[in-house]
Chains A and B, each alone.
Chain A
Amino acid sequence: MSFFTKIKGVRVPHKKNTAEAEPKVLPAVSSVFLPMNMHIGAPSVPCVAAGDAVLVGQKVAEAGGFVSSPVHSPVSGTVTAVHDKLYATGEKVGVIEIASDGRNTPSPDIKPPVIESTEDFIAAVRNSGAVGLGGAGFPTAVKLTVRPEQTVDYIIINAAECEPYITSDTRTIIESAEDIFFGLSLLKKYINPGELIIGIEANKKTAADYLLRQSELHTNKELGVKIAILPSVYPQGGEKVLIYNTTHRIVPEGKLPLDVGCIVLNVTTLAVIAKYVKTGVPLTHKVVTVDGTAVKSPANVLAPIGAKISDLLELCGADPDAAAKILYGGPMMGTAVPSADVPVRKNTNAVLAFTEKEAVLPEEQPCIRCGRCVASCPLKLQTVEIHNAYLNNKPEFIEQYKANICMECGCCSYVCPAKRQLTQYMKLAKAALREYQDKQAAAAEKAKLLEEAANGE
C-alpha cells in the first residue's frame, strides 16, 4: 500500500494495572438480572416464566431471529420475574430475574455438542450464546455464516485490547491459551480460512509469549497460526484497523469484513466457543476488569453474567460514594452508566469507576482548526469539517465528508486541545445524516410515484 495509507491513531496511556494477577472470583450472588439485549440484533425471547426452576447453563431465552443470541442462566434457582424494565440506555428491555439457590446445580443439558459439519459447528456457536465479547456484541454465529459466493481468506483473532485499563482478554489468553488453539483448530476444520492470524499489541508481552508457545506445539504447528505483534497504538483493535494492519485489506464503506474475505473474532469469544464445544458449558460467566481511580484494589473478576456491577466494585474496594462516573468498557469507547445497579452483560469486558476529578467534563473552547483531530483519525476523516457542517446544519456536507465511515473510536476528542466533544458531534452528525438521507430517499420515492402517475394518465 502507498506511503500515505498508514493508519494513524493516538498513544493513550496503557494503565494495564490488572494484567499480572489472576482473576478474583465473585462470591455467590443472591440474584441475577439478564437483559434480553446483550447483543446487537433482535432481542432474545424468554423461554421460562416466573416461578420456573432453572439450573446453571440452562437456556432461559431463545435467539429472537437470525441476528440474535440465546441466553443461559449462570445460577441455579427460581425465576422471579420475566418483564420489561427501563434500562440504562433509556429504553424498555425484557429482563429475566433469577433468584439463586446458592447451590449452582449444573443443568443435565450440559454436554458437548455433536459436530460433524460446518452447519453443526455454526449451530454450536449459536447455542453457546457467544457474541462479540470485545464490546460490540455482534452474534458470532452470524459472522461465521459464509454465503457460497464468499471466500474466507483470513480469520483474524482480535487480541489487541487497545483500550486503557482493560486486561480481561489478556487474562483469557494467559488462562486458556489451549482453549484458544482448540478454537482455532475448529475454525480451520469447519470454516477453512486461507490463514489464521492472531493480532496482539506489543505491550502484552506475557500474553503474546503464551500464544507463541502454544503455536509452536507440534499439535498446533500444522494450523500455521500467524501471531502478529502490532504497535500499541489506539485503536489497534478496531475491526477495520486490525484487518488493514494484519492483511493490508481495506473494508470499503458500507461493506462487512467478509466482503473482503476476512472474519474478525475476539479472542475471548473464541475461548467461549472452544469451551462450549469441549464441555458443553455455554457463556454464563465473564472475566471483567474492575479498575479506575475510584477503585482501591483493581482486579479482574470472574462474575456471572447478570450480577450487579456494584457487587464487583465493592469486591475491589471501590467506595460507592467516591465514584462519580462508572463505565461499561474502556475509557475511550465505553458507556457511562447512570447507576451501579446494572448487570454485567455478555459484552462487558470492564467496569471502571472514576472519582469526581476525572468525571468533570472539560470546558469546550472554540475550535482553532489545529487539525489534530484530522491527523489522528484512523479512518482519515476530516473531523473538524464534519463538526462544522453539523453545527452549521449542512447535512449535504456531512454526507460529502463521509461521516458515515466514523467508528466513534474517540481519538479526535482525546487529542483536541480545545476540548471539544468531537466524537459526540460525530455521532450527532451521523444521526443528522441518516435523517437527511431518509428524507432524500422519501422525496425521490415521491417524485417517482408522481412521475409514474403522470405517465399513466
Chain B
Amino acid sequence: MENNNKRLLTVSSSPHIRSSATVSDIMTDVVIALMPALIAGVWIFGYRAFVLTAVAVLSCFCFEYAFDYLVNGSYKKNRRKPSVCDCSFAVTGMLLAFSVPPTLPVWQLVVGCLFAMVIVKMLFGGIGRNFANPAVTARIFLFLAFSGAMTRWTFDGVASATPLAGGTANYLTLFLGTHAGCIGETSAAALIVGGLYLILRGVISWETPVFFVLAAAVLSSVFGIDPLFTVLSGGLLLGAIFMATDYTTSPLNFWGKAIFGAGCGILTVVFRKYSNNPEGVSFAILLLNILTPYIDRAVRPRAFGEAKRK
C-alpha cells in the first residue's frame, strides 16, 4: 500500500464544485424566449418569415464556423470545440431576421449575417469581445446599404405603412402585432412573454427593459406623443428585451443598467421625433453599446467595506 505507484491526485484551486449553468444553456433560453415572436411572425406574415429566420440562423452558423476554422485552426488537430458550440450564433441570427421586413431578398439578409458575424463579432475576438451588438449593428448596416428593401412594408400581401410611418393601428393590433413591420418586432404580446421567461429564468435582469420602456414613455408624453403607442410600435420592445440586454455590450450593475436602459429609451424617442427615419431603436442601442465601459466605470458600486472614494 505504501509503495505502490498510485496515480496522482488532481490538485486545483478552490472552489472544487461548480453550478450546472453553461453558456449554451443561457443561449438556448434566449432562443426559447424568441419562439413566441417567431410563431407570431409566421402567423402574421406567412411562411416567408420562417424561411428568412432559418436562413439567417443557418448563415450565421456557417460564417462563425468557417471564420473560427480559418483563423483559429482545425478543430480536430487543435483538439478544441468549435466556437459555435455556445449557440450564440442562433440568437444573433434570429434577432437579425426579426428586425428585417418579411419581403427582404434572401441574399441581402445573408450579407447582413456576414456583417454581423464576421465584422462585428468574430473580428473583435468572438463571443464576449464584441463592443456592439452584432444583430443591432447588422440591422443598421442593412438599413443603410439596402434602404429601399429595408423600408418596403407589406401586410397581408398589400403594401402598407408601419404604424410609426403613419399607418393605422389601434392598441389591440399593436399588442397582437397584426400590422406591417419587421418579422419579429410587431407582436408586443409575444415579446413580453419571451421577456418574462428570461427574467424568471434569471437570464436577464428587469432593469434594462423596464428603464428603457419607462424613459421612452415619459419622454414621449413630454413631446405630446401617446406613450403607449411609442412603447408598442416599431422595434422598441424587441430592442428593450432582447437587444439592450445583451451581456457583452451592456453594463453590469443596477445603476449602469438603469442608465443604459433610460439612455436607450430617451434616444429612441428623440430619433423617432427629429430624424428622417421613423425608427431609432437600433441607433439608440448602438450608441449606448459604445458608452457601456464608461457607464460601468462611472457608477461602479462601492465594494463591501471599501473606504469612501475621494
One of B15-23, B210-218, B234-242 contacting the partner: B15-23
CB of B36 closer than 8 Å to a CB of A? no
A420 to chain B, nearest CB (A): 10
Query: A4 contacts B301, CB within 8 Å?
Result: yes
Q: Which of A10, A324, A352, A363 contacts B10 (CB 8 A)?
A: A324
Within 8 A of B (CB), among A37-67: none
The distance in angstroms between the C-alpha atoms of A367 and B9, with both chains bound, is: 28
Instruction: State whether A374 touches B26 (Cβ < 8 A).
Output: no
A residues 340-385 touching B (CB-CB < 8 Å)? 340, 352, 354, 358-363, 365-372, 374, 378-382, 384-385
Interchain nearest-CB distance for B53 vs A (Å): 23
B252, A382: Cβ atoms under 8 Å?
Answer: yes
Complex contacts, A332 vs chain B, CB 8 Å? 14-17
Report B260 CB to chain A, min CB distance, Å: 12
Known A-B contacts A417-B23, A417-B26; the reply to A368 vs B248 at CB < 8 A is yes
Contact of B16 among A334, A363, A366, A370 (CB under 8 A): A334
Q: In the bound complex, do residue A253 and residue B307 qualify as a contact, i.e. CB atoms below 8 Å apart?
A: yes
* B11→A367 contact, CB < 8 A: no
Bound CA span A11–B302, Å: 23
Residue pair B25, A417 in contact (C-beta under 8 Å)? yes
Contact with A along B114-149 (1 / 0, CB 8 A): 000000000001111100000000000000000000
- Do most interface residues of chain A lie in helix, strand or loop, or is the interface mixed? loop
Separation in Å of the A131 CB from the closest CB of chain B? 20
Contact of B247 among A336, A338, A365, A371 (CB under 8 A): A371
CB distance from B297 to the nearest CB of A (A): 9
Whether the Cβ atoms of B304 and A240 lie closer than 8 Å is yes
Establish whether residues A250 and B9, one from each chain, have CB atoms under 8 Å apart when the complex forms. Answer: no
Which residue in chain A gives the minimum CB-CB distance to B88? A368
Taking each of B126, B247, B296, which has the highest tally of chain A beta carbons within 10 Å of its own beta carbon?
B247
With A369-B248, A385-B296, A415-B21 known as contacts, the answer to whether A380 contacts B86 (CB < 8 A) is no
Q: Which residues of A contact B254 (CB under 8 A)?
A: 4
Q: Are B22 and A338 in contact (CB under 8 A)?
A: no
B19 and A415: CB pair below 8 A? yes
Which stretch of A25-33, A196-204, A265-273, A421-429 is in the interface?
A: A421-429
Taken together as a complex, chains A and B put the C-alpha atoms of A110 and B11 apart, in Å, by 40
- Asked if B305 and A240 sit within 8 Å, CB to CB, the answer is yes
Bitwise interface map of A from 198 to 215 toward B, beta carbon under 8 Å scored 1, else 0: 000000000000000000
B303 located at the interface, meaning its Cβ lies under 8 Å from any Cβ of chain A in the complex = yes
Q: Which residue of chain B is the closest to A356 with respect to CB atoms?
A: B10
Contact B86 A365 (CB under 8 A): yes
B77 on the interface (CB 8 Å rule)? no
- Chain B: interface residue count, which band? 35 or more
Which of B16, B22, B253, B301 is within 8 Å of A336, CB to CB? Answer: B16
Contact (Cβ within 8 A) B304 A379 = yes
Q: Answer whether A382 and B300 are a contact pair too, CB < 8 Å, given A253-B305, A370-B247.
A: yes
A352 to chain B: which residues have CB within 8 Å? 16
Q: Whole-angstrom distance between the alpha carbons of A361 and B13 in the complex?
A: 10
Q: Which residues of A contact B18 (CB under 8 A)?
A: 362, 413-414, 416, 419
A354 CB to nearest chain B CB (Å): 7
Interface string of B27-50 (1 = CB under 8 A from A): 000000000000000000000000
Q: Produce 1/0 per residue, B180-203, CB < 8 A to A.
A: 000000000000000000000000
- Which chain B residues lie closer than 8 Å to A340 at the CB level? 9
Cβ A252 vs Cβ B307 within 8 A: yes
CB atoms of A368 and B300 under 8 A apart: no
When chains A and B are docked, how far (Å) is the Cα of A401 from the Cα of B302? 9
Contact A323 to B304, CB < 8 A, known contacts A332-B15, A368-B23, A410-B14 = no
CA distance A423 to B125 in the complex (A): 24
Which residues of A lie under 8 Å from residue B12 when comparing CB positions?
A: 325, 336, 361
Compute how far the CA of A326 lies from the CA of B6 in the bound complex, rounded to whole angstroms.
14
Chain A residues positioned under 8 Å from B252 (CB to CB): 369, 371, 374, 382, 384-385
Residues of B within 8 A of A380 (CB): 301-304
Chain B residues near A382 (CB-CB < 8 A): 252-253, 296, 300, 303
Please give, as numbers and ranges, the residues of chain B lying within 8 Å of A5 by CB-CB distance. Answer: 304
Q: Is A408 among interface residues, defined by CB-CB distance under 8 A?
A: yes
A277 to B: closest C-beta gap in Å: 34
A93 within 8 A of B: no
Cβ contacts A232-270/B at 8 Å (1 or 0 each): 000000001000100000111101000000000000000
Instruction: Judge if B8 is at the interface, Cβ distance under 8 Å.
Output: yes
A326 neighbours in B (Cβ, 8 Å) = 9
Please give the distance in Å from B104's CB to the nearest CB on chain A. 29
| A381 / chain B contacts, CB cutoff of 8 Å | 303-304
Nearest-neighbor residue (CB-CB) of B301 within chain A: A380
The residues of B that contact A7 with a CB separation of less than 8 Å are: 304
* CA of A240 to CA of B247, assembled, Å: 30
Per the bound structure, the CA–CA distance linking A381 and B16 in Å amounts to: 21
Interface 0/1 of B252-283, CB less than 8 Å to A: 11100000000000000000000000000000
Nearest CB of chain A from residue B254's CB, rounded to whole Å: 7
Q: Cβ of A188 < 8 Å from any Cβ of B?
A: no
A326 vs B25: C-alpha distance in the bound complex, in angstroms?
30
A326 to B300, CA, bound (A): 39
Given A326-B9, A337-B11, A382-B300, residue A251 in contact with residue B16 (CB < 8 A): no
Whose C-beta in chain A lies nearest to the C-beta of B253?
A: A374
Could you tell me if B303 and A379 are in contact, using CB atoms closer than 8 angstroms?
Answer: yes
Docked-complex contact B19 and A414, CB < 8 angstroms:
yes
- Measured CB to CB, the closest approach of chain A to B24, in angstroms, equals 9
- 1/0 contact trace for B290-303 toward A, CB 8 Å? 00000010001111
Contact B10 A336 (CB under 8 A): yes
Contact status A338-B9, CB under 8 Å: yes
A358→B23 contact, CB < 8 A: no
Q: Which residue of B lies closest to A417 (CB)?
A: B21
**Least Cβ–Cβ distance between A29 and chain B, in angstroms:** 15
With A244-B304, A253-B305, A405-B306 known, 8 other A-B pairs at CB within 8 A are A336-B9, A358-B17, A361-B10, A366-B129, A368-B88, A379-B304, A380-B303, A382-B303
Between A and B, 21 residue pairs with Cβ closer than 8 Å are: A4-B254, A240-B305, A321-B6, A321-B7, A324-B10, A331-B15, A331-B16, A332-B16, A333-B14, A334-B16, A336-B14, A361-B12, A366-B125, A368-B127, A374-B252, A378-B304, A405-B303, A414-B18, A418-B22, A421-B13, A427-B13
